[in-house]
Amino acid sequence: MERHTLASLALITILVSLVGAQSNVDDFLANYSTSGEQQYYADTVANWNVAVNLDDDSLPGLAAQADADLAEWEQMMAAQATAQFGDLSSINDTSKKRQLKMIQTVGLNLTSTDTILLSTLIINMTTVFNTNRICPWSNLTREPNCSMPFQKWWRIDPEMFDRMSHSRDYDELAYVWTAWRNISALNKEYFEQYVDLSNKGARQGGFKDTGDYWRSLFESEDFKNLMDQTFQEILPLYEELHTYIRRKLLAQYPGRFKTSAIPAHILGNMWAQEWTDLGDFTTPFPDIATVDVTAEMLAQNYTPLKMFHVADDFYQSLGLIKMNDGFWNNSIIEQPENRSIVCHASAWDFVNGQDFRVKMCTKVNMADLVTIHHEMGHIEYYMQYAKQPLPFRNGANPGFHEAIGDTMALSVVTPQHLQKIGLLNSTSSNEQDINFLFKQALGKVAFLPFGYLIDVWRWSVFDGTYNSSTYNTGWWDLRTKYQGIVPPNDRPVDAFDAGSKSHVIDSTPYISYFFSEIAQFQFYEAMCKAANQTDALYKCDFYQSKAAGDLFSGMLQLGNSQPWPQAMQKITGQQNLDASAISEYFKPLRDWLRNENVKAGDCYGWDYTWPDAVTKNLNTPRCGSTLA
């Protein structure tokens, strides 16, 4: 009897201890959320102020200090979580254990001084990127004209973007392309310091290097192989498009190049990351109008504000959350006349459950209408998971966040939808469908290798495979290997061409965009099924389908409360990243391109041999480094 009494007392003691530990967990997490919202809000405000006023020299220092304050708080909370709960083996609640594990993982663990230095390096690189200009090109003298006032020199946005998109002058394009990379080289020393300091923080945070930390956010044991396998799946589709575009460019610029890899400066984009602006001379059926409603938007007196309301209506039609008053009052949707801002479109969560904003220098055109739907997708995701505990207020993985708005855009750009909202008045035909899919491919299929290789390069920089003396050779090895492009001229060994891309110098991981380009078609296919759309996948418009919206919001509300395969299953019914949906979407175009390329007698590739499993179904000759 006494033994039973002692055992009962021991059990009661254990239960009391567990209840006490549970209470401690609840108190800790409640305090983390309360203080965390204040910390993240202050840091976001400071960085927002820099992005929307590049002319105030006092703001970068304030932002760097805010970053340091946030990092110090995160480290303090991580230390407290580790001291109080150890290895978390005593925590039975899976949700609370997941929260505590996230809190214990600092990522980049740096002192306040080093955090300020790291932030300052990134801000310095961003400032160089956004404030430098190049001399305008003179068609009269066939060279740059540097005698003009500096205020009339070309900025990256809009003047350089415009020339790269619309000029068909091979030499002017080469000048603009090269001049911008000369500016990029100014950031190389900053970037070297950034890599060293970021790696130091990652190692002190328990990771091998910064790339190892970034990949950990995807919670996949073999993430590198997953990405490589996915790329191999879509490579044949990309090769069909590359072969077709190369043939068109050879005709557009006769005698200017003979390489099987395409010169990077003639693809209609500063980074050759998407080829949409080549449509004027590459469209399969040029006599059939392409789906571009820019002229109609202008005719109907669209404004940037109206464009944002059209996007908001789309989300509301699905039963999703409408943009709140704070969004409309605090967002910046046009370039201010009295100051310089970072015009690259972005969505901002101020982490207090109510302040959500977009920053964008909107122009009235179809491309920006699509971008607005993309950025508003981020806002929708922020609002949907705003009631989750603070550690879970993020996307299921970084790629999910990028996929949300793009999933919507797949529906928005269809002729079917544009007709519904009164911007298009045309009937569909096979030729129009091919033109539509071709335009989509110039944006999405052309982007895939670029979206993949940027972080393949950065992972190799972070792990030491590439150092400052091999940054550029490594960059071009990968751009040729994966994308099939080459620079328009011999690049100096000490150049820093990767730094011409904003995401590289502002420390934004990029593999999420590649992941997104695959996942968004999976989401789109699932929503189309929910909306009972039975036509070809590329024709689906789920506008006004509450069933599709309910399916979507069920996934969005999870935030990062579960590993991403569970979020994927919530919307698609399976847990894998799968390229079958994007393949299905573009199948009519791939068949058409295949027929055209074979009929023209073209070879495939750019003197890079991929595994037989990728190319065996082509049964066509592979190109050498130069074309006959």
- 377 touches 67 (CB < 8 A): no
pLDDT digits 0-9 by tens, 167-179: 999 999 999 999 9
Q: Which amino acid is at 325?
A: D
**Cα(51)–Cα(450) distance, rounded to whole angstroms?**
26
pLDDT digits 0-9 by tens, 507-532: 999 999 999 999 999 999 999 999 99
**Cα(295)–Cα(457) distance, rounded to whole angstroms?**
40
Q: What are phi and psi of 345, to 5 degrees?
A: -60, 140
* Sequence-separated (6 or more) residues with CB below 8 Å from residue 178: 265, 488, 489
503 noted as active-site residue: yes
Total-model pTM: 0.93
- 154 touches 163 (CB < 8 A): yes
pLDDT digits 0-9 by tens, 406-463: 999 999 999 999 999 999 987 779 999 999 999 999 999 999 999 999 999 999 999 9
Give residue 12's pLDDT.
32
Which of the four pLDDT bands, split at 50, 70 and 90, describes residue 216? very high
Which of the four pLDDT bands, split at 50, 70 and 90, describes residue 13? very low
34 pLDDT above the threshold of 90 = yes
Which of the four pLDDT bands, split at 50, 70 and 90, describes residue 607? confident
pLDDT digits 0-9 by tens, 322-339: 999 999 999 999 999 999
Alpha-carbon 81 to chain mean position: 32
Task: Domains for the chain: give ranges and CATH numbers.
Answer: 2-105 (no CATH), 294-444+512-583 (1.10.1370.40)
Which of the four pLDDT bands, split at 50, 70 and 90, describes residue 14? very low
Tokens of 346: 């972005």
**Under the phi-then-psi rule, with left for phi > 0, alpha for psi from -120 to 50, and beta for the rest, what region is 254?**
beta
Sign of CA dihedral 286, 287, 288, 290: positive
β-strand partners of 346: 359
- The 3-class secondary structure across 190-249, one letter per residue, is HHHHHHHHHHHHHHHCCCCCHHHHHHHCCCCCCHHHHHHHHHHHHHHHHHHHHHHHHHHH
72 noted as active-site residue: no
pLDDT digits 0-9 by tens, 528-555: 999 999 999 999 999 999 999 999 999 9
ω into 487 cis (within 30 of 0): no
Tokens of 413: 């750009």
Is residue 402 a known part of a binding site?
yes
Mean pLDDT, the chain, integer: 93
Is residue 378 a known part of a binding site?
yes
Choose, from 375, 380, 517, 525, the residue flagged as catalytic.
Answer: 375
Tokens of 328: 């409309």
Choose, from 189, 503, 584, 596, the residue flagged as catalytic.
Answer: 503
Give residue 10's pLDDT.
39
- 486 touches 259 (CB < 8 A): yes
Give residue 262's pLDDT.
98
Is residue 296 a known part of a binding site?
no
Percentage of residues in the chain having pLDDT higher than 90? 91
Give residue 336's pLDDT.
95
